[in-house]
A and B are shown apart, each in its own frame.
Chain A
Amino acid sequence: MAPLWTSVIRSIRYKIALLMLASVCCALLVAGVALSLYEISDYRQQAMNELGTQADILGRASASALAFDDARAVKENLQLLSNHPGLQAAAIYAARGRRMGEFRGADAAQVSIPDLPEADGIHVSGNHVIVFKRVVENGEIVGTVYLNGRYELMARLRDFLGILCAVMVFSLMVTGLLSVWLQRAFTQPILAVTSAAHRVVALKDFSLRVPKTTEDEVGYLVEAFNGMLAKLGQREQDLAASQRLLEQEVEERRRVDEDLRNLNAQLELHVAQRTAQLETANKELESFSYSVSHDLRTPLRGVVGFADALLEDHGEDLDEEAQRKLRIVHGEGLRMGRLIDDLLAFSRLGRKALQTVEVDMEGLARNAWKSVAGPDAGSSLRLELGRLPPVQGDPALLTQVWINLLSNAVKFSAKREQALVSISAITDGEEHVYFVRDNGAGFNPKYQDKLFGVFQRLHDSDAYAGTGVGLALVQRIVLRHGGRVWAEGQPDQGATFYFALPKEPLHEPL
């Protein structure tokens, strides 16, 4: 049962057959019920009418016999009914109720014939239809006819239902055959589409086409299906073509990439070579300048030492003018010594490896301020120290940065009555930006790019002492930490020097 039902709900063929059978069954059942109901009422009416008519005829025929009390004629008339199949018993009564004649069917021995006539009328009682009919002749009642007929509703209904069942079975068979024949015409195109769809899904063959055999909705479906197949096929071809094109492009790009990589490698090789040459040249230059500076110190120490000794030992022998000039020689010698020291420090920086640790920038800045401003920093010089984040770096070099920047600030704001130096920092996602602001002489932004050059001075050395190496050193140290420096300022409106250090320290190539 289950597989049958499954195949019914899976296939439109069986559904249509089932539909037709169900429709025919329903129609036949409804018709059968209606006909049965009609038959029941009709049979009763018909039986009563028929027997009534028979009674009428018998009465008319027997009227004169009754009128003239002719029992023989009455019996003859009754005998006429003996062949009537539906009649079980009959009797004729005289006007006063005396029974003049009677008749029983062969199979109706048990039927009792009433001794006296009952009232005029027809009624059904059990399996019998019973008629009493007055016979009227020339306006006088001359007697009564009694008829007892068969009323076999159940047998009749049984026959009727039997016929109905036979008709139903036959109809269902005919319908079944008809549905097999009809649904073939009906479902063939749908099944063709279905099998084509199966093949398309299984084989991915979009060149399949379903022949169009009908002009109805299914025909339209077939057309649409074919159209979709054609479009799908076309699209797949396009896709394949574009894929081939894409593959070619990828291949080409890969080749170009490779060329580029080769070229790049060559370039990098070139750069490395050049860099090596440059580094070599730079190192040679640095060692040259170091040895020059170092070699210059020895004679200079002699000049300064002997100028000092001359002033100490023979100062009283010289006049005022000579002493003054000698002091200038001594001072300039000292200045040259500092210049050489700075140069040495600057060149040393390129030769020393960074000692990177976590550095407390706030502590460094405070100590640097102490050494720059001196213990007797008056009320004319004020520092505002903000919160500074720690950073990864070389503490000795960073101390140098702070000292150089702060001494620069103090130096250029020394002429202010109320000098203010403020230190603070800003942090963004990648770096810490520290800055030192003063309200000193400031500078012309036009020369901004010269600020950090070696021996570059924006102010003359008479007004502001210095060697012109400090800011260059600062830049050098910060660059070596992977950071950057810049400055903002206007003449007479102070200056701000910034240096930014990365949060993650750069691994410095040596």
Chain B
Amino acid sequence: MKTGGVRRPCPGRRRLLGLVLLLACAGAAWAQVDEGADEAHVKAAFLYKFTGYVDWPDSAFDPPGASFVIGVQGSPALLGELSQLIAGRKIHERPVQVRSIAAGDSLDGLQVLFVGRSESFRGEASSPVLIVTEADGSMPRGSMINFLVIDRHVRFVIALPTVEQAGLRMSSRLLSVAQKVIQAEEH
């Protein structure tokens, strides 16, 4: 009886718990985008969520206890949103840092790099880095995920070969919600 009670709390308490969680979610800073919401806010949230569907090899972290570092290049708005969002959160059990990156900076120590619309992306990384861009039109070379805005909704395209080349593994669940998945090299 006792174990049953533990496994299945009474409905009233469960309902209360649900309500509390809902309120917490609603109040959370990263809350999901609605129509008219700030695009940067949504993209920051997506960027954060992508990390949950991607696996980095252990070699990506040097030293092994290093923080999870997200680099943002050329998008101060997104940098600000992201900084707010990650406060107090962890990614893959690691503390998270958000770093502003300038063009030409070394990508060492980064796990994710967001490249703003105005920036050109260039550079090689010694460790696997998830490259996210927001280029209009075609997918920039080297980009793994590219944001689009369709019907005022933020969507994204995934270039799977680039991801795999980088040594990252991406969950099929992420692929299933992508606007488009590029399977082979288009360039």
Contacts and interface: CB of A to CB of B under 8 A. Distances in A.
Interface of A: 63-65, 67-70, 73, 94-98, 117-121, 123, 132, 134, 137-138, 140-141
A119 B16 contact: yes
A414 B16 CA distance: 155
Contact of A73 (B11, B25, B156, B176): B176
A79 to B, nearest CB: 15
Interface string B34-46: 1000000010001
B26 A138 contact: no
B18 to A, nearest CB: 4
Given A68-B156, A119-B19, A132-B18, 4 more contacts: A69-B154, A120-B14, A120-B17, A141-B22
Contact of B33 (A63, A69, A132, A137): A69
Contact of A63 (B14, B46, B154, B173): B173
Interface of B: 11, 14-19, 21-22, 25-26, 31-34, 42, 46, 49, 52-53, 153-156, 171, 173-174, 176-177
B177 A73 contact: yes
A121 B10 CA distance: 9
Contacts of B154: 69
Contacts, number: 70
B25 A96 contact: yes
A121 B15 contact: yes
A64 B26 contact: no
A123 B32 CA distance: 29
A72 to B, nearest CB: 9
Contact of A119 (B17, B52, B53, B177): B17
A64 B176 contact: yes
Given A94-B32, A138-B52, A123 B21 contact: no
A309 to B, nearest CB: 164
A62 to B, nearest CB: 10
A43 B52 CA distance: 39
Nearest to B15: A119
B148 to A, nearest CB: 12
B181 to A, nearest CB: 13
A68 B46 contact: yes
A119 B173 CA distance: 26
25 contacts: A64-B173, A65-B177, A68-B174, A70-B177, A73-B176, A73-B177, A95-B25, A95-B26, A96-B31, A96-B32, A97-B26, A118-B18, A119-B16, A119-B17, A119-B18, A120-B14, A121-B11, A121-B15, A121-B18, A123-B11, A134-B18, A138-B49, A138-B52, A141-B21, A141-B25
Closest 3 CB pairs of A and B: A119-B15, A138-B52, A119-B18
Contacts of B52: 67, 137-138
B25 A65 contact: no
B27 to A, nearest CB: 10
Contacts of A141: 21-22, 25
Contact of B177 (A64, A95, A117, A140): A64
Nearest to A69: B32
Nearest to A98: B34
A61 to B, nearest CB: 9
Task: Please indicate which of the listed interface residues A73, A98, A121 has the most CB atoms of chain B within 10 Å of its own CB.
Answer: A121
Contacts of A68: 46, 49, 155-156, 174, 177
A70 B173 CA distance: 12
Contacts of B26: 95-97
B74 to A, nearest CB: 23
A154 to B, nearest CB: 23
B14 A121 contact: yes
Contacts of B31: 95-96
B14 A95 contact: no
A45 to B, nearest CB: 11
A73 B42 CA distance: 18
Contacts of A117: 22
B17 A69 contact: no
A95 B32 contact: yes
Contacts of B16: 119
Nearest to B178: A68
Contacts of A137: 49, 52
Contact of A134 (B21, B34, B49, B174): B21
B14 A119 contact: yes
A94 to B, nearest CB: 6
Nearest to A60: B173
B18 A120 contact: yes
A443 B72 CA distance: 183
B31 to A, nearest CB: 7
Nearest to B92: A138
A120 B53 contact: no
A67 B42 CA distance: 11
A97 B177 contact: no
Max count, chain B CB within 10 A of own CB: residue among A69, A96, A137:
A69
B147 to A, nearest CB: 11
A65 B33 CA distance: 14
A69 B31 CA distance: 11
A97 B21 CA distance: 12
A173 to B, nearest CB: 44
Contacts of B177: 64-65, 67-68, 70, 73
A134 B177 CA distance: 19
A480 to B, nearest CB: 126
Nearest to A94: B32
B174 A118 contact: no
Contacts of A138: 49, 52
A119 B33 CA distance: 23
Contacts of A134: 18, 21
